């Protein structure tokens, strides 16, 4: 048939990479250490240790944790380590920072587990739309990992993409 419509995108070797596929399911929570400081700023060791010891950490069972201090308190290094030692018994992952920092960390772990040989010498489009909150830093990390192995790299959708790299 001369007037047959051919989907050239479907027939191409183009691989669509969706970062959303690497999203790690699970509860995420931000824990503010200022809750255990006097007036949110002053760490009194005895009271701090007591509060950490008596806290019910089981509420964070299997959670992904972003640990931080929302005030400008000057904390000794051992303070966050003491909290981490308690959280480590119940949580999946703990990072120092915000929920965005936590999300980036989870994506880095997932990206590092990828078998990049599947993309070697092929054109790859990194899907731009997502229902999940994917930090921009995860896209940047992904591009750094893919660029050395792919033939070409695009961002967006197959019907409307932005070229990023071509060997």
- Does one domain contain both 87 and 126? no
- Does one domain contain both 13 and 40? no
pLDDT 10s digits, 119-148: 999 999 999 888 888 999 999 999 999 999
Q: Decide if 96 is inside a domain.
A: no
Q: Decide if 105 is inside a domain.
A: no
pLDDT the model gives residue 132: 84
Locus of tokens 């760490």: 43
Both tokens of residue 55? 């806290």
Q: Decide if 1 is inside a domain.
A: no
pLDDT the model gives residue 161: 86
Number of domains in the chain: 2
pLDDT the model gives residue 128: 84
Percentage of residues of the chain with pLDDT beyond 70: 93
* pTM of the shown model: 0.86
- Does one domain contain both 87 and 32? yes
pLDDT the model gives residue 158: 73
Q: Decide if 66 is inside a domain.
A: yes
pLDDT 10s digits, 69-104: 999 999 999 999 999 999 999 999 999 999 999 999
Partners of 157 in the β-ladder: 160
Contact 148, 119 (CB under 8 A): no
- Does one domain contain both 16 and 35? no
pLDDT the model gives residue 157: 82
- Does one domain contain both 87 and 136? no
Give me the domain span that covers residue 76: 28-91
pLDDT the model gives residue 5: 61
- Does one domain contain both 32 and 54? yes
Alpha-carbon span 49 to 58, nearest angstrom: 17
Mean pLDDT of the chain: 92
pLDDT the model gives residue 2: 66
Percentage of residues of the chain with pLDDT beyond 90: 84
Structural domain ending residue among the three candidates 91, 123, 146: 91
Q: Decide if 2 is inside a domain.
A: no
- Does one domain contain both 86 and 130? no
3-state secondary structure the chain: CCCCCCCHHHHCCCEEECHHHHCCCCCEEEEEHHHHCECCCECCHHHHHHHHHHCCHHHHCCCEEEEECCCCCCCCHHHHHHHHHHHCCCCCEEEECCHHHHHHHHHHHHHHCCCHHHHCCCEEEEECCCCCCCCHHHHHHHHHHHCCCCCEEEEEECCEEEEEEEC
């Amino acid at each position: 048939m001369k007037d047959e419509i051919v989907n050239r995108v479907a027939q191409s070797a183009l691989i669509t990479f969706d970062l959303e596929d690497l999203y790690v399911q699970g509860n995420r929570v931000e824990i503010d250490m200022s809750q255990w400081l006097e007036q949110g700023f002053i760490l009194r060791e005895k009271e701090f240790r007591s509060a950490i010891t008596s806290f019910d950490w089981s509420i964070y069972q299997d959670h992904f944790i972003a640990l931080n201090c929302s005030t400008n308190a000057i904390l000794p290094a051992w303070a966050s380590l003491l909290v981490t030692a308690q959280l480590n018994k119940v949580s999946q992952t703990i990072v120092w920072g915000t929920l965005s920092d936590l999300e980036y960390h989870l994506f880095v772990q997932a990206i590092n587990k990828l078998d990049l040989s599947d993309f070697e010498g092929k054109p790859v489009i990194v899907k731009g739309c997502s229902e999940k909150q994917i930090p921009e830093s995860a896209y940047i990390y992904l591009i750094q990992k893919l660029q050395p192995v792919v033939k070409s790299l695009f961002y967006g959708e197959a019907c409307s993409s932005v070229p990023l790299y071509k060997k």
